[in-house]
Amino acid sequence: MPTTPATAANISSNGTAEAIMLELVDENGTTIGTAEKLAAHQAPGQLHRAFSVFLFDEQGRLLLQRRALGKYHSPGVWSNTCCGHPYPGEAPFAAAARRTYEELGISPSLLAEAGTVRYNHPDPASGLVEQEFNHLFVGLAQAQPSPDPEEVGETAFVAADELAKRHAEAPFSAWFMTVLDAARPAIRELTGPSAGW
């Protein structure tokens, strides 16, 4: 895997781990400061900027990822195509495109903004809290994913009618339905009425 700002930021020139910083925001999404990533997720959580990406194939199926088991937050659960946090000062759109490539080895086509959603989701398993102002994006995946195994355990394309069954049978991230529901108007516009989203 190529070294990117995300992977390089974890190791300093002297070989020690550097803190990953997140952008703290107010209820309107205005930047008010920064916090270290883990600290921002410790209860009760600090409101920070995030993004969620939903990519679809030409049949209107959503690309899901199962988060790698080694992730410190919500390991092994299914979630949307890609989610993460912009670096302080990084545009959410740029961060969404960057992380989709870093995690899945694909560059989204026709990536478009799909609004924002604010939520507070505790993760009972880890005790961490997702207190996020989340920028939503929808687009097309026109290549097969080539996931980074440190980030992604597996991927699957699912149709709208398959998602409910999968959601009932396997654990999903605490935030998944919140971000999916908020992005549905843009998803329907992208995939058309026949896809059933």
Q: From the CA atom positions of the chain, what is the Rg in Å?
A: 16
Distances (CA, A) of 122 to 44, 53, 128: 8, 21, 6
- Cβ atoms of 44 and 131 within 8 Å: the answer is yes
The one catalytic residue in 102, 103, 130, 132 is: 132
**What gap in Å lies between CA 139 and CA 46, rounded to an integer?**
29
Whether 132 sits among the annotated catalytic residues: the reply is yes
Distances (CA, A) of 61 to 37, 110, 112, 153: 32, 15, 17, 19
Question: Which of these, 122, 125, 128, lies nearest to 178 by C-alpha position?
Answer: 122
The one catalytic residue in 23, 83, 102, 130 is: 83
**What gap in Å lies between CA 125 and CA 155, rounded to an integer?**
22
Question: Which of these, 65, 75, 63, lies nearest to 103 by C-alpha position?
Answer: 65
Phi, psi torsion values for 179, nearest 5 degrees = -75, -35
Whether 82 sits among the annotated catalytic residues: the reply is no
**What gap in Å lies between CA 174 and CA 54, rounded to an integer?**
16
**What gap in Å lies between CA 185 and CA 152, rounded to an integer?**
27
| Active site amino acids | 83, 132
